[in-house]
């Protein structure tokens, strides 16, 4: 049997609408692993926000966070560990111009720490799944004193009316150093990360680590940021609840959505 590498997105895919991993999903993932296949999380979430799902699924494999910018095994030093960061000076420059650019909150995060320019409202905390913390200790305030290194990812909540000005500022001042990744939907949130790094990069690192050919990679996702994830796989699986652009490039659309244990049912049917 040729082992498969199964790359799972989290939000809208492996997680239900309450950001939970169901017992059915745990059982399906563990069944696939017991058959000799490899399951890895490839998510836009930080390590902090992805770790509960990783642990509940009982994974020991590398995890890809921040849309490909970090590859890590939480429990030990993985030989293939990598990270791509954003220059500290870019963060401080955005802080200096935040009022003029309509930036409400900036969060800078890496695998060990999170800094925020101010606490988020309880509503923003909830809709952002905790990306924007609603409690910020003095040593967690994003400023020149506390930011002592280059973070991996910036999350920015902004005034939608000033988006064109903000995008132009980023392009004009930071050139090809970074790129913007919009969350989409009704939220006025985007992330800033190192240019040229995406989920496909992370999947390719996993494939190299496990010596898995592209044809033996199964990727499952639902949102626009999963287009690179699917591009790196031989079998591209869109969730039933996926956006149209994901379904358009997929070989398979699940019969059930993320509220109906779509991932678990797909895995059980595929690996029966």
The pLDDT profile of the chain, 272 residues, written as one tens digit per residue, is 799 999 999 999 999 999 999 999 999 999 999 999 999 999 999 999 999 999 999 999 999 999 999 999 998 889 999 999 999 999 999 999 999 999 999 999 998 899 999 999 999 999 898 999 999 999 999 999 999 999 999 999 999 999 999 999 999 999 899 999 888 777 899 999 999 999 999 999 999 999 999 999 999 999 999 999 999 999 999 999 999 999 999 999 999 999 999 999 999 999 98
190 lies in the same domain as 202: no
Q: Which of 138, 112, 136 is nearest to 124 (CA)?
A: 136
Q: Which long-range contacts (CB under 8 A, 24 or more apart) does 131-140 make?
A: 131/46, 131/49, 131/107, 131/155, 131/189, 132/105, 132/107, 132/157, 133/107, 140/113, 140/114, 140/115, 140/116
210 lies in the same domain as 150: no
Distance CA 241, CA 263 (A): 11
- CATH number of the domain that 141 lies in? 3.30.1240.10
Supply the DSSP symbol for 3.
P
Check residue 119 and give its pLDDT: 97
pTM of the model: 0.94
Check residue 61 and give its pLDDT: 97
20 lies in the same domain as 113: no
Q: Last residue of some domain: 194, 210, 236? A: 194
What is the number of domains present in the chain? 2
Check residue 183 and give its pLDDT: 84
- Chain centroid to Cα 26, Å, comes to 20
Check residue 187 and give its pLDDT: 85
163 lies in the same domain as 205: no
Q: Last residue of some domain: 169, 194, 219? A: 194
Distance CA 240, CA 238 (A): 6
9 lies in the same domain as 105: no
Check residue 235 and give its pLDDT: 98
202 lies in the same domain as 70: yes
97 lies in the same domain as 161: yes
140 lies in the same domain as 162: yes
190 lies in the same domain as 119: yes
At 229 the three-state DSSP class reads: helix
184 lies in the same domain as 101: yes
Segments forming the whole domain that contains residue 173: 88-194
141 lies in the same domain as 214: no
The string of DSSP letters for 58-121 reads T--S-EEEGGGTEEE-TTS--TT-EE----HHHHHHHHHTHHHHTEEEEEEE-SS-EEESSPPP
59 lies in the same domain as 75: yes
Supply the DSSP symbol for 42.
B
Check residue 186 and give its pLDDT: 77
Q: Last residue of some domain: 155, 175, 194? A: 194
Tokens coding 63: 């995890």
Distance CA 167, CA 180 (A): 8
Distance CA 115, CA 208 (A): 33
- CATH number of the domain that 71 lies in? 3.40.50.1000
């Amino acid at each position: 049997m040729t082992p498969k590498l199964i790359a799972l997105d989290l939000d809208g895919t492996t997680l239900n609408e309450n950001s939970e991993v169901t017992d059915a999903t745990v059982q399906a993932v563990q069944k696939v692993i017991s058959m000799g296949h490899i399951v890895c999380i490839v998510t836009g979430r930080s390590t902090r926000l992805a770790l509960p799902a990783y642990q509940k699924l009982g994974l020991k494999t590398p995890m890809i966070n921040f849309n490909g910018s970090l590859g890590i095994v939480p429990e030990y030093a993985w030989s293939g560990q990598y990270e791509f960061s954003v220059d500290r000076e870019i963060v401080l420059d955005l802080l200096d111009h935040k009022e003029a650019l309509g930036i409400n909150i900036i969060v800078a995060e890496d695998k060990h720490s999170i800094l925020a320019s101010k606490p988020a409202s309880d509503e923003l905390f909830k809709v952002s799944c905790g990306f924007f913390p609603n409690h910020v200790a003095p040593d967690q305030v994003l400023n020149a004193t506390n930011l002592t290194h280059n973070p991996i990812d910036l999350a920015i909540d902004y005034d939608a009316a000033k988006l064109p000005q903000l995008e132009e500022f980023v392009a004009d001042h930071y050139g090809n150093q970074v790129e913007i990744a919009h969350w989409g939907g009704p939220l006025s949130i985007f992330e800033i990360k190192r240019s040229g790094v995406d989920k496909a990069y992370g999947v390719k690192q996993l494939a190299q680590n496990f010596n898995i050919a592209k044809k033996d990679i199964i990727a499952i996702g639902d949102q626009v940021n999963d287009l690179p994830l699917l591009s790196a796989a031989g079998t591209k699986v869109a969730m039933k609840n996926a956006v149209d652009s994901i379904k358009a490039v997929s070989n398979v659309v699940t019969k059930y959505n993320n509220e109906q244990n779509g991932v678990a049912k797909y895995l059980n049917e595929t690996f029966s």
